[in-house]
Each structure stands twice: as C-alpha cells, then as structure tokens.
Amino acid sequence: MIINTVALTRKFLLVDDDLDDAKLFCEAIDQISSVECITIENGLKLFDLLSKHNINSSDVIFLDINMPVISGWECLKKLKSSAEYYRIPVIMYSTSSARNDIERAYNLGAQLFLTKPISFGELSNILEIVATSSQDSLLSQLKEFKSAKII
C-alpha cells in the first residue's frame, strides 16, 4: 500500500494490483493540489482500510476489474449495497473497453468508466477534472476524453 502522508482535503483511492499503474496514477495525482493518493492492492484491503479510516463522499474510489482476492465487480456491488459506503463515488479503471463491462459498471452504480492505458497527460487532466468538478458536471466535462466511456 502506498500512502502519501501530506494532510490534504480529498482522498483518491486506487484499488489495483498492478504496481506500475498505481505508480503512474499517484504521479498524476501529485500534480493536483489538495488530493491525497492511496493505493491498495486488492478489494479485501480496501474494505479493511475503509473500516479503519474516515473515507467520505468527497473522496473517490478507482477500481480495477480484474484483481486477486475480491474482483472490482464484487467491490463495486459491496460498496453500492452498503449503507455506510454507497455515497462514495466509484470510478472503474480498467484495461477493458468492452461495451458489456461499461454497461455493467454503470448499472452497478459506478460514476464513470475509464480505460487503461491512458497517457500520463490525459490521466492527469482527467484526475484534475474529477478533483475539481461536481458529480453533476463530471460526465459532461469528460466527454472529450477517449478513455472516458460514457453511456
């Protein structure tokens, strides 16, 4: 688990077992003021962290689909069916661009579906928009990005 220790206002949690993707993600977040990057290797560790730390609806969880222990799908279902966590925005972050995966993510309650690989510049721009936009305006602001799959 990687946690940047600077006290900041929002947390972006990336749940992904790919360490290279996690490093790139945190490097992109380091470009944004007032956002803390937290990476978690799998869904089980996500729920452990959620039970011990104050994560709220101003924070964002980014979920990979294919992970060991608990898949991104199972995490998303559990988050959105939990009275405690359902308000936390979830963005799927996956190599898949299959229409059925995108539709499934939205049907299960994801706010957005992002495909990998994203260039560092595009990832930085998307994360900046996520960090500074309201939930209501997020999708309209991300329509221009090829990796943002909006249905």
pLDDT at 86 over 50: yes
Top-confidence residue, 90 or 135? 90
Beta pairing class for 148-149 and 112-115: antiparallel
Please give the Cα distance from 148 to 8 (Å, whole number): 26
Q: Read out DSSP for 40-71?
A: ESSHHHHHHHHHHS---TTSEEEE-SS-SSS-
In the three-class reduction of DSSP (H, G, I as helix; E, B as strand; rest coil), residue 150 is classed as: coil
Under 8 Å between Cβ of 147 and 114: yes
Neighbours of 71 (CB within 10 A): 16
Q: Which pLDDT band, with edges at 50, 70 and 90, does 2 fall under?
A: low
Give the model's pLDDT for residue 39: 96
Q: What domains can you pick out in the chain, each with its CATH number? A: 2-149 (3.40.50.2300)
Give the model's pLDDT for residue 140: 79
pTM: 0.89
